[in-house]
Amino acid sequence: MTHHHQFDAVIVGAGGAGLMAALQAARLTNVAVISKMYPTRSHTGTAQGGIAAPLGNMEEDHWEWYMYDTVKGGDYLVDQDAAEILARESVEAIYELEHMGLPFDRTQEGRIEQRRFGGHTREYGKGPVMRSCKSADRTGHMILQTLYQNCIKHNVRFFDEFFVADVLVHEGVARGVVAVEIATGELHLFHAKAVLLASGGFGRMFAVTSNAHSLTGEPVAALYRRGLPLEDMEFFQFHPTGIYKMGILLSEAARGEGGVLLNGRGERFLENYAPTLMDLAPRDMLSRFIYQEVAAGRGVDGKDYVHLDIRPETINRYGSAPGGRTVTAAELEEKLPDIIEMMRVYMGVEPMREPVPIQPTAHYAMGGIPTDNDGRVLAGPTRTVSGLYAAGECACVSVHGANRLGTNSLVDLVVFGRRGGKALGEFCRRADYAPLPPRAEAEAQGALDELRASRGGERVATLRSELQRVMMDKVGVFRKAAGMREALSAVRGLKERYTQIGLDDRGAAFNTDLLEAFELGALLDLAEVTAASALQRTESRGAHYRDDFPERDDTHWLKHTFAYRSEGGDVRPTRGEVRFETKPVVVTRFEPKPRTY
Ligand SMILES: Cc1cc2nc3c(=O)[nH]c(=O)nc-3n(C[C@H](O)[C@H](O)[C@H](O)COP(=O)(O)OP(=O)(O)OC[C@H]3O[C@@H](n4cnc5c(N)ncnc54)[C@H](O)[C@@H]3O)c2cc1C
């Protein structure tokens, strides 16, 4: 039996982007938010470091400096009209969060306190600037709680633990979504005037990742399967400081407060790579530098990791705290409580007395569902889909270009979540319901039934770990043609084997076996697009670094990738090749220059 619902606006995802959009739209129309997790468990809640805005509370700062850093950090693949919106509207968005009740840290004068973060500079690159607003190292948690409370206050209707399997886009018009109620296994059809996707990242395609288990990208894959493009999927950011082997993130905030990276000889090796910004150079570069140190035999004990050192005596010896101040253990414990706790709990080290083993971890999807500056989803380089919106990490505005700066995702969520939510609400006031095609849920139902009944010999967990390994090894920080071809053919092989899986649980209630199988299907599609997009871009830019094409090539590649499935258009994992188009990058104020720090 299928349950039917009708809401003017349906939002998929209850992270920062989904909740911000819901809040804006709820002022104009009726809104349902569907989330496969309880809203406040969304990944936004784990963001430790902070949220950027050039408030200038601690030292001089300007939106133009911030825009410049964002464009340069993104290795000039950023659309500069979008970056200008981000830089200007970030200030308003922060004050709006403050007025909603978000408990930001304060200066003694009562202003919002700010700290330094990688790639954020004063005067167009002269030195680090304090731009990140924060609530200790629990900024994302506070954003999520604040937005959720405000959504409740504005009567947003929540469908928690509903798993969206299909997004209904028919003849170029969005009409709703199909979801499984996880507790019962029953299908729900949501008919809507407009849909906004805010399903977050999909870092679970990599073996070592900071991303939560839930970040598997079904709604993104659903659009791709329905024939819509995905933009710049070759750009996946590796964060330099994941806990060794586990990938759990140790936020850049640790370095913002003075922490330094040391190689196996105890040397501050970044002096040789990024003499101006050192430990606060952008993430794509730091991840590469760490690998290079390890490759040169200077990892710790000859192994594939280096140290993050936040011992007060180390910070004081290097004078690496903001302004060269002297720091104490008590001060660090107050500013970085969760990070220090994670080092103790997960790594079993005492960071006030010893350095912590770290290695790069797959962290953030710069690419995703292409949108315009109001969150409207693009059907091609110049066309939009009526009634379809996206915001947050699943979307590509593109404000992060080839590499995102730290603290710029949370700003992206609130600035473009807000714009998308407003545009969605206004659209719903003007538009009528487009009719649903007959038996709109039938395809999703068919795909799920097939999975539930599958009795083949392949195991979901095995296929998933093979996928994660090959993506990590061949489409990670360093890439080259032969490896990417291997990865692509491995992913296609895994897609074949995916048709032969067998599930143990055939029940309806809480069938996580079934949902994990569905998630793997999405990851396989998205990994294929990532590898194929990386292979066709014959240059190095931002997080996409190729040994065989080590230079950035603005003559041929100052453009975005749009990847499409080559044939068909149903809800199941795709078959066949990936087809490409390109879209020019919007350059307004800053002409591309070499990126040095
Ligand atoms: C450990 C960590 C620390 C970070 N720290 C920072 C930081 O300090 N500053 C910063 O700017 N950025 C940070 N980031 C990045 C940033 O937190 C994320 O990019 C951002 O929070 C994503 O928000 P979102 O709203 O797009 O999605 P998320 O918060 O990931 O939420 C996704 C939502 O979609 C729902 N969903 C997904 N699939 C489905 C489906 N099939 N059906 C129904 N619902 C679905 C989920 O239930 C969830 O509610 C960090 C990321 C990580 C992983």
Radius of gyration for the chain, computed over Cα atoms and rounded to the nearest angstrom: 23
What is the b/e burial string over 49-78, where b = at least 16 CB atoms within 10 angstroms of the residue's CB?
Answer: bbbbbbbbbbeebebebbbbbbbbbbbbbb
Q: What is the pLDDT of residue 569?
A: 84
Quote the DSSP letter at residue 40.
G
Inter-residue contact 459 to 500 (CB < 8 Å)? no
End-to-end CA distance of the chain: 59
Q: Is residue 88 annotated as a catalytic residue, yes or no?
A: no
Q: Give the contacts of 569 (CB within 8 A, at least 6 positions apart).
A: 225, 226, 227
CA distance 16 to 40: 9
| pLDDT tens readout for residues 351-372 | 999 999 999 999 999 999 999 9
Tokens describing residue 322: 């903001």
CB-count exposure of residue 157 (10 Å: 0-12, 13-18, 19+): middle
Which atom of ligand 1 lies closest to the CA of 412? 11
Q: Which atom of ligand 1 is nearest to the CA of 39?
A: 49
d(CA 542, CA 283): 9
DSSP string, 98-143: HHHT----B-TTSSBPEEEEEEEEETTTTEEEEEEE-STT-HHHHH
Is 49 a residue whose pLDDT tops 90? no
DSSP letter for 205, please. G
Residue 520, classed as helix, strand or coil, is helix
Question: Mean pLDDT over residues 358-387, rounded?
Answer: 97
C-alpha distances in Å from residue 25, one per residue of 31, 393, 431: 7, 19, 14
212 Cα–ligand 1 center, Å:
9
Distance 258 CA to ligand 1 centre (A): 27
Instruction: Give the three-state DSSP class for 492.
Output: helix
In the reported structure, the alpha carbon of residue 460 is separated from the centroid of ligand 1 by a whole-number distance in angstroms of 24
Task: Determine the distance separating the centroid of ligand 1 and the alpha carbon of 200, expressed in angstroms.
Answer: 5
pLDDT at 486: 98
For residue range 474-527, list pLDDT tens digits in order. 999 999 999 999 999 999 999 999 999 999 999 999 999 999 999 999 999 999
CA–centroid distance, 592 to ligand 1, in Å, is 30
| CA 451 vs CA 6, 161, 177, 523, 576: distances in Å | 28, 20, 19, 16, 21
Is ligand 1 within 6 A of the CB of residue 50?
yes
408 lines ligand 1 (CB under 6 A): yes
pLDDT surpassing 90 at residue 99? yes
Q: Are strands 369-370 and 395-396 parallel, antiparallel or unpaired?
A: parallel
pLDDT value, residue 596:
83
Mean confidence (pLDDT) of the chain:
96
Cα 415 to Cα 374: distance, rounded to the nearest angstrom: 10
CA of 417 to the centre of ligand 1 (A): 13
Q: Any alpha helices (H) in 431-475, and if so which ranges?
A: 442-453, 460-474
Q: What are 250-260's pLDDT values in tens digits?
A: 998 899 999 99
- Cα distances (Å, whole numbers) of residue 559 to 555, 584, 589: 10, 5, 17
Q: What is the pLDDT of residues 404-437, one digit of tens each?
A: 999 999 999 999 999 999 999 999 999 999 999 8
- Are 342 and 361 within 8 A, CB to CB? no
Question: Which residue lies with its CA nearest to atom 52 of ligand 1?
Answer: 47
The set of long-range contacts for 425-429, using a CB threshold of 8 Å and a minimum separation of 24, is 425/9, 425/24, 425/25, 425/26, 425/27, 425/28, 425/29, 425/31, 426/28, 427/193, 427/194, 427/387, 428/8, 428/9, 428/25, 428/28, 428/29, 428/193, 428/194, 429/28, 429/29
By alpha-carbon position, which residue is closest to atom 9 of ligand 1?
407
Q: Are strands 2-12 and 187-197 parallel, antiparallel or unpaired?
A: parallel
Kindly give the pairing relationship between strand 559-565 and strand 395-396: unpaired
Place of tokens 């200007």: 88
Task: Summarize pLDDT for 282-333 with one digit per residue, the tens.
Answer: 899 999 999 999 999 999 999 999 999 999 999 999 999 988 999 999 999 9
What strands, in cross-sheet order, belong to the sheet with 578-584? 230-231, 559-565, 578-584
**Mean pLDDT across the stretch 13-26?**
98
pLDDT-derived band of residue 226, with 50, 70 and 90 as boundaries? very high
Atom of ligand 1 minimally distant from the CA of 48: 8
Pocket-testing residue among 23, 86, 131, 199, ligand 1, by greatest number of atoms within 8 A of Cβ: 199
32 lines ligand 1 (CB under 6 A): no
pLDDT tens-digit map of 517-534: 999 999 999 999 999 999
Tokens, residue 205: 């395609």
Ligand 1: which of 410, 415, 516 to mutate, most ligand atoms within 8 Å of CB?
A: 410
Tracing tokens 């001089």 back to the chain, one arrives at 60
Ligand 1: atom nearest CA of 179 is: 42
- The whole-number pLDDT of residue 286 equals 95
* pTM (two decimals): 0.96
- pLDDT 10s digits, 100-142: 999 999 999 999 999 998 899 999 999 999 999 999 889 999 9
Name the DSSP class of 240: E
pLDDT band (50, 70, 90) for residue 597: confident
DSSP characters over 156-196: -EEEETEEEEEEEEETTEEEEEEEEETTT--EEEEEEEEEE
* Per-residue pLDDT, 261: 97
- The secondary structure of residue 278, as a DSSP letter, is G
Q: Is 34 in the pocket of ligand 1 (CB under 6 A)?
A: yes
pLDDT digits (tens, 9 = 90+) for 142-160: 999 999 999 999 999 999 9
Per the residue annotation, which of 283, 404, 464, 479 is the catalytic one? 283
The answer to whether residues 35 and 222 touch, using CB atoms and an 8 Å cutoff, is no
**Beta pairing, strands 230-231 & 187-197:** unpaired
Q: For tokens 């107050």, what's the residue?
A: 334
Secondary structure class of 534 (helix, strand, coil)? helix
